[in-house]
Protein backbone atom coordinates (compact mmCIF):
# COMPACT_ATOMS: atom_id res chain seq x y z
CA UNK A 1 0.00 0.00 0.00
CA UNK A 2 2.81 2.38 0.90
CA UNK A 3 4.53 1.70 -2.43
CA UNK A 4 1.29 2.42 -4.31
CA UNK A 5 0.81 5.70 -2.43
CA UNK A 6 4.44 6.63 -3.05
CA UNK A 7 4.12 5.86 -6.77
CA UNK A 8 0.88 7.86 -7.00
CA UNK A 9 2.53 10.78 -5.22
CA UNK A 10 5.49 10.69 -7.59
CA UNK A 11 3.15 10.61 -10.56
CA UNK A 12 1.28 13.61 -9.21
CA UNK A 13 4.53 15.45 -8.48
CA UNK A 14 5.77 14.69 -11.97
CA UNK A 15 2.75 16.55 -13.33
CA UNK A 16 3.88 19.64 -11.45
CA UNK A 17 7.51 19.32 -12.49
CA UNK A 18 7.01 18.94 -16.24
CA UNK A 19 7.10 22.05 -18.41
CA UNK A 20 3.72 23.81 -18.64
CA UNK A 21 3.40 23.13 -22.38
CA UNK A 22 3.63 19.39 -21.74
CA UNK A 23 1.12 19.39 -18.92
CA UNK A 24 -2.57 19.45 -19.71
CA UNK A 25 -3.38 21.83 -16.86
CA UNK A 26 -2.80 21.83 -13.15
CA UNK A 27 -3.33 18.74 -11.02
CA UNK A 28 -6.64 18.72 -9.18
CA UNK A 29 -6.85 19.64 -5.50
CA UNK A 30 -6.58 16.02 -4.34
CA UNK A 31 -3.40 15.48 -6.39
CA UNK A 32 -1.92 18.72 -5.09
CA UNK A 33 -2.67 17.65 -1.52
CA UNK A 34 -1.07 14.25 -2.14
CA UNK A 35 2.06 16.03 -3.38
CA UNK A 36 2.15 18.26 -0.30
CA UNK A 37 1.73 15.27 2.00
CA UNK A 38 4.50 13.40 0.19
CA UNK A 39 6.85 16.38 0.41
CA UNK A 40 6.28 16.70 4.13
CA UNK A 41 7.33 13.10 4.71
CA UNK A 42 9.83 12.28 1.96
CA UNK A 43 11.34 15.46 0.53
CA UNK A 44 14.65 13.72 -0.11
CA UNK A 45 12.94 10.88 -1.97
CA UNK A 46 11.09 13.35 -4.16
CA UNK A 47 14.31 15.22 -4.93
CA UNK A 48 16.25 12.04 -5.64
CA UNK A 49 13.50 10.72 -7.91
CA UNK A 50 13.37 13.94 -9.93
CA UNK A 51 17.15 14.37 -10.14
CA UNK A 52 17.82 10.74 -11.09
CA UNK A 53 21.21 10.75 -9.38
CA UNK A 54 23.86 8.20 -10.22
CA UNK A 55 25.87 6.67 -7.38
CA UNK A 56 28.84 9.00 -7.86
CA UNK A 57 26.57 12.06 -8.08
CA UNK A 58 24.64 11.00 -4.99
CA UNK A 59 27.84 10.63 -2.96
CA UNK A 60 28.78 14.21 -3.82
CA UNK A 61 25.29 15.75 -3.74
CA UNK A 62 23.74 14.52 -0.47
CA UNK A 63 26.39 15.93 1.90
CA UNK A 64 26.04 19.33 0.20
CA UNK A 65 22.23 19.04 0.33
CA UNK A 66 22.31 18.13 4.04
CA UNK A 67 24.60 21.07 4.85
CA UNK A 68 22.33 23.40 2.85
CA UNK A 69 19.23 22.17 4.66
CA UNK A 70 20.94 22.57 8.06
CA UNK A 71 21.80 26.19 7.24
CA UNK A 72 18.36 26.81 5.75
CA UNK A 73 16.44 25.45 8.78
CA UNK A 74 16.95 28.47 11.10
CA UNK A 75 16.00 30.84 8.27
CA UNK A 76 12.79 28.91 7.65
CA UNK A 77 12.16 28.83 11.37
CA UNK A 78 12.37 32.66 11.50
CA UNK A 79 9.90 32.90 8.61
CA UNK A 80 7.56 30.42 10.27
CA UNK A 81 7.64 32.30 13.59
CA UNK A 82 6.70 35.54 11.84
CA UNK A 83 3.91 33.78 9.97
CA UNK A 84 2.61 32.30 13.21
CA UNK A 85 2.64 35.77 14.76
CA UNK A 86 0.46 37.00 11.88
CA UNK A 87 -1.89 34.04 12.33
CA UNK A 88 -2.11 34.28 16.11
CA UNK A 89 -2.81 38.01 16.29
CA UNK A 90 -6.58 38.44 16.70
CA UNK A 91 -8.41 40.46 14.04
CA UNK A 92 -8.16 44.14 14.78
CA UNK A 93 -5.33 43.75 17.31
CA UNK A 94 -2.46 44.17 14.85
CA UNK A 95 -0.63 47.41 15.58
CA UNK A 96 1.36 49.32 12.99
CA UNK A 97 4.55 48.62 14.95
CA UNK A 98 3.86 44.89 15.15
CA UNK A 99 2.95 44.71 11.45
CA UNK A 100 6.19 46.51 10.56
CA UNK A 101 8.23 44.18 12.78
CA UNK A 102 6.67 41.08 11.20
CA UNK A 103 7.16 42.40 7.66
CA UNK A 104 10.81 43.14 8.48
CA UNK A 105 11.26 39.60 9.83
CA UNK A 106 9.75 38.07 6.70
CA UNK A 107 11.85 40.25 4.39
CA UNK A 108 14.98 39.46 6.39
CA UNK A 109 14.30 35.72 6.14
CA UNK A 110 13.72 36.01 2.38
CA UNK A 111 17.00 37.91 1.96
CA UNK A 112 18.91 35.40 4.09
CA UNK A 113 17.51 32.51 2.07
CA UNK A 114 18.44 34.15 -1.24
CA UNK A 115 21.97 34.83 0.06
CA UNK A 116 22.33 31.21 1.20
CA UNK A 117 21.09 29.96 -2.19
CA UNK A 118 23.74 32.09 -3.92
CA UNK A 119 26.45 30.63 -1.68
CA UNK A 120 25.37 27.08 -2.49
CA UNK A 121 25.05 27.52 -6.27
CA UNK A 122 28.76 26.81 -6.75
CA UNK A 123 28.70 23.92 -4.28
CA UNK A 124 25.78 22.21 -6.01
CA UNK A 125 27.29 22.89 -9.44
CA UNK A 126 30.57 21.31 -8.31
CA UNK A 127 28.72 18.24 -7.01
CA UNK A 128 26.33 17.81 -9.94
CA UNK A 129 27.43 19.97 -12.84
CA UNK A 130 25.66 23.19 -13.73
CA UNK A 131 22.69 21.68 -15.60
CA UNK A 132 21.75 19.19 -12.91
CA UNK A 133 22.33 21.80 -10.19
CA UNK A 134 19.93 24.10 -12.07
CA UNK A 135 17.41 21.24 -12.16
CA UNK A 136 17.83 20.79 -8.41
CA UNK A 137 17.16 24.51 -7.85
CA UNK A 138 14.07 24.27 -10.07
CA UNK A 139 12.76 21.35 -8.00
CA UNK A 140 13.47 23.23 -4.76
CA UNK A 141 11.74 26.29 -6.19
CA UNK A 142 8.61 24.32 -7.04
CA UNK A 143 8.56 22.67 -3.62
CA UNK A 144 9.10 26.05 -1.95
CA UNK A 145 6.29 27.60 -3.99
CA UNK A 146 3.91 24.92 -2.75
CA UNK A 147 5.02 25.40 0.83
CA UNK A 148 4.72 29.18 0.60
CA UNK A 149 1.28 28.91 -0.97
CA UNK A 150 0.14 26.73 1.91
CA UNK A 151 1.60 29.18 4.41
CA UNK A 152 0.16 32.23 2.66
CA UNK A 153 -3.30 30.69 2.48
CA UNK A 154 -3.24 30.21 6.27
CA UNK A 155 -2.33 33.84 7.04
CA UNK A 156 -5.30 36.16 7.22
CA UNK A 157 -5.02 39.62 5.72
CA UNK A 158 -4.19 42.29 8.27
CA UNK A 159 -7.25 44.30 9.32
pLDDT of the chain, 159 residues: tens digit per residue: 344 334 444 444 444 444 433 344 556 667 666 766 666 568 888 899 899 999 999 999 999 999 999 999 999 999 888 888 878 887 778 888 988 998 899 999 999 999 999 999 999 999 999 999 999 999 999 988 988 898 888 887 887
- Report which of 136, 149, 138, 155 is spatially closest to residue 29, judged by C-alpha positions: 149
Which pLDDT does position 155 carry in this prediction?
Answer: 80
Which pLDDT does position 37 carry in this prediction?
Answer: 65
Burial 103-126 (b: 16+ CB within 10 A, else e): eebbeebeebbeeeeeebeebbbe
Classified as helix, coil or strand, 18 is coil
Which pLDDT does position 59 carry in this prediction?
Answer: 96
CB neighbour list of residue 51: distance below 8 Å, 6 or more residues apart: 57, 61, 128, 132, 135, 136, 139
Please state whether 92 falls in left (phi above 0), alpha (psi between -120 and 50) or beta. Answer: left
Which pLDDT does position 41 carry in this prediction?
Answer: 63
Which pLDDT does position 86 carry in this prediction?
Answer: 79
Record the pTM.
0.71
- Report which of 104, 83, 96 is spatially closest to residue 156, judged by C-alpha positions: 83
Which pLDDT does position 17 carry in this prediction?
Answer: 45
Amino acid sequence: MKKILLAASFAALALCLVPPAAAQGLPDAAAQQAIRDQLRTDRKVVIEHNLALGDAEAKKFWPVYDAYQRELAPIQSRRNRAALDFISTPDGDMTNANARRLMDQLASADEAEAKLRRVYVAKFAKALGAKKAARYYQIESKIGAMERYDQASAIPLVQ
